[in-house]
Amino acid sequence: MLDFCRKLTGKKAKAITEAVVEQTDSQQPAAAAPERRPRRTNVEYQRNDNGRPGRPPRERFERNKDSSYQGDRSRHDSHRDTQRDTPRPRRDTSNLGPKLNPDHQSAILPALRVIPRDQHNISRKDISPNALKVLYRLNDAGFEAYLVGGCIRDLLLGLIPKDFDVVTNATPDEVRAVFKNCRLIGRRFRLAHVVFGREVIEVATFRGHHSGGEEEENIPAGVRSDHGQILRDNVYGTIEEDAERRDFSINALYYSVRDFAIYDFANGVEAIQQRKIELIGDPETRYREDPVRILRAIRFATKLNMDLAPATAALIPELAVLLKNIPAARLFDESLKLLMAGKAFDNFVMMRDLGILKQLLPQVHKVLKQDSEGKVFHLITNALQDTDERVAQDKPVTPAFIYAALLWYPVELRMQTLLIESGLNDIDALNIAMTEVLDDLVRTIGIPKRFTLVVRDLWSLQGRLSKRAGRRAFKLMELPKFRGAFDFMQLRAKAEGGQLAELALWWQQFVNADDAEREELVLDLGKEGIEPRKPRRKRKPVRRKPAADQA
């Protein structure tokens, strides 16, 4: 009935509602009105135990003041006083170091040297937080984990590490089970990459020695080539074996977050103090295992301003031929580290002196042999030094420009040969020469096509920059590769001089001028910037045969 009345509107609905309520009250006995709770004072109105205002405070638990409670409290107070008076015991770090194999006897490594925290300058503040997460989580999962290699070396030298590598006794599959943000890569040696946004922490398992025996149940044995090169390296071992497998003594350094000590297996700290790059073990064996170590030795020597140890440098000219067995894609990655890390000129000079340039860039070695101190050397020197300056100023660099400078004179030499032998025109001879030189290079150093196309554009525009009359100069400036071709021409002008220097000066004025000044520069050229047309070949008149007389 009440619901029906609520649907009605106006005075009629109000009257019906009041009548229904009076009838209902007359039928039921009147109930006593509930007592109204007295309003709380300001003292009583306070926050309860949960910190929520407006609710009655929770009754606190009051213990009975008996002897048992007093006794427990006295024991608790006495224990707290004892803790305050007694100094905290020092952490036992005797079992926090690496689990060494007592039966392992190394003929390569010296005695292990442990450098405690108070004797080195490495702090966790200098280490990537993501790398620390990986170390702590692997340790909590029951595995050994250490920072290893270049990051420890750079921190000891006061440098900023480029990345942080972790080594552990966990297999790659076990690492992936610990980290959800992990992916496994690598064919030659299986690695785990733990991804934190843009930062990737590389986690490797302790490497072992190649016994040459049968494959174990779950761990494939390593594979070597006839030259002694390691083709497959998924052989796991202990930390001592991993230290023996490291290439240089300055990279056999392990840092633990358990006791914050450095474990030096190959006198790496002493080598850092002596500024010396030294291989671990027999140099010939180590170079044959991985010939890329030849390039790494040069790169570390120039990057860290160190010297190669005599035994490390002696066999490089003889064994540099082994670099031909390295995949072209891997050599390209190593070439980027050599040419684009700020030490390109120093690396190039050392490679030339040690005979490595003959194996990696035989065409460059050939032209340098003919003109060791002439325009070829000056062009390469200017290009590499400018690249080092741009890297130091944090400006962008591209390998296409470097390879264009390295191979320009081999292309020019081949072009001249084609012009003499085959009688081709300049454009066809240049295209054939570019294709031949780049194909030879790609077979040795696998430069991707996105870079070789840029190299071809830089070379092709060198001939077009001399044609400036009319609207050609304005159209050339609109090309996307004009700036790179112009910079390359300026380097050539420094090396060659003569008319090329005058051409580079004109383009410099044209680039820096406004539209009116550019028009004047073009008008001042006259016929100088116009390519002379070749005379057309006159065709011999075709004699028509007389029509046959019709019978």
> Which residue among the candidates 165, 242, 264, 386 is catalytic per the annotation?
165
Which residue in this structure is represented by tokens 């490495």?
122
CA 268 from centre of chain: 24
* Residue 394 is among the residues annotated as catalytic for this protein: no
Residue 184 phi/psi, 5° resolution?
-100, 135
* 103: amino acid identity, one letter: D
* Beta strand pairing call for 113-115 and 262-264: antiparallel
499 SS3 class: helix
Q: Which residues of 277-289 are buried (b: 16+ CB within 10 A; e: fewer)?
A: bbbbbebeebbbb
How would you class 196 by CB atoms within 10 Å of its CB: exposed for 0-12, middle for 13-18, buried for 19 or more?
A: middle
What DSSP character marks residue 37?
A: P
* Residue 371 is among the residues annotated as catalytic for this protein: no
Written in H, E and C, the secondary structure of 180-230 is CCEEEECCCCCEEEEEECCEEEEEEECECCCCCCCCCCCCCCCEECCCCCE
* Residue 457 is among the residues annotated as catalytic for this protein: no
What DSSP character marks residue 236?
A: B
Number of C-alpha atoms within 13 angstroms, CB side, residue 201? 26
Q: Which residues contact 484 (CB under 8 A, 6 or more apart)?
A: 400, 401, 454, 457, 458
> Which residue among the candidates 154, 242, 247, 346 is catalytic per the annotation?
247
* Beta strand pairing call for 276-277 and 307-308: parallel
CB 123 within 8 A of CB 158: no
- Other residues' Cβ atoms within 10 Å of the Cβ of residue 345: 19
339 SS3 class: helix
| Catalytically annotated residues | 163, 165, 247
